[in-house]
């Protein structure tokens, strides 16, 4: 079906006149029927017309579009060269279950943000106020630094790993990567916390963790798949290396 040019689209007044004409046409066509049957047929016809005229854009279309974009992005990255697959799978699984557990544990206390990017999105959306968001950010940064410090003490004689980008990537490209990954994660957080999705229940944190694990599998060899400025900040502080640190703040 060809699209209707803007100049040919009816104005509100024309649409009302057309609706009146349709109404009269229906009544004339049903005039020969018995009274009870005529009224029933008229109501059924009007109900069908109203249902079609009042249709609104389906939000599932937008969700499907975002899903396809995410799938295309992931599938494209899988075709690029990467690191050792076995190590990457282990890291992705660990990330998935660790994040799921952290979100589940803190969900009833602080909504289980765990991530400054998630906190920022909820603050922008008006779900939390700015002072609360700042307090969450400070807590997340301190927790990341303490965790990396504990790891540094535990692995005496070894260097603390930090997030790095692949030699084939630019800082801008890595920022775009991290931005897309973080968008997918935040989108999943909103979907898991949607009050209309009562069927999710306790599986919401698991969905968030699995999304993070999938992102690590897809982008681990290229930008590390951080999606979390706090993680990059903590490891950079303890390791004393801030190379490409802006990637993990600008992107998410």
Give the pLDDT confidence of 117-135 residue by residue, as tens digits. Answer: 999 988 998 888 999 999 9
Give the pLDDT confidence of 151-210 residue by residue, as tens digits. Answer: 888 887 777 778 888 888 888 888 988 999 999 999 988 888 777 766 566 788 888 999
Cβ atoms of 216 and 137 closer than 8 Å: no
Can you give the residue ranges of every domain in the chain? 7-53, 59-250
Give the model's confidence band at 4: pLDDT under 50 very low, under 70 low, under 90 confident, else very high: very low
Cβ atoms of 152 and 227 closer than 8 Å: no
Q: What's the longest Cα–Cα distance across the chain?
A: 96
| DSSP H stretches of helix in the chain | 12-29, 35-53, 59-78, 85-110, 116-124, 130-154, 171-192, 203-223, 229-239, 247-250
In this structure, the number of other CB atoms found within 10 A of the CB of residue 119 comes to 24
d(CA 8, CA 15): 12
Give the model's confidence band at 36: pLDDT under 50 very low, under 70 low, under 90 confident, else very high: low
Its CATH class, for the domain covering 59-250, is mainly alpha
């Amino acid at each position: 079906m060809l699209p209707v040019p803007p100049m040919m689209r009816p104005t509100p007044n024309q649409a009302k006149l057309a609706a009146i004409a349709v109404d009269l046409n229906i009544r004339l066509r049903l005039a020969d029927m018995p009274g009870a049957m005529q009224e029933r047929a008229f109501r059924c016809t009007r109900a069908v017309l109203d249902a079609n005229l009042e249709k609104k854009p389906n939000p599932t279309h937008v969700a499907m579009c975002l899903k396809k974009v995410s799938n295309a992005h992931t599938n494209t990255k899988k075709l690029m060269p990467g690191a050792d697959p076995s190590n990457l799978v282990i890291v992705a699984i660990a990330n998935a279950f660790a994040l799921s557990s952290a979100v589940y544990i803190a969900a009833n206390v602080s909504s289980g943000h765990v991530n400054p990017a998630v906190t920022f999105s909820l603050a922008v959306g008006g779900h939390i106020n700015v002072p609360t968001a700042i307090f969450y950010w400070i807590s997340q940064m301190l927790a990341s630094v303490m965790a990396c410090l504990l790891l540094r003490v535990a692995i005496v004689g070894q260097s603390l790993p930090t997030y790095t980008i692949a030699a084939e990537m630019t800082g801008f490209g890595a920022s775009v990567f991290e931005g897309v990954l973080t968008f997918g994660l935040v989108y999943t957080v909103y979907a898991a916390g949607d009050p209309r999705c009562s069927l999710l229940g306790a599986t919401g944190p698991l969905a968030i963790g699995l999304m993070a694990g999938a992102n690590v599998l897809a982008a681990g060899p290229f930008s590390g798949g951080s999606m979390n400025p706090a993680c990059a900040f903590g490891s950079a502080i303890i390791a004393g290396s801030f190379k490409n640190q802006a990637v993990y703040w600008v992107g998410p």
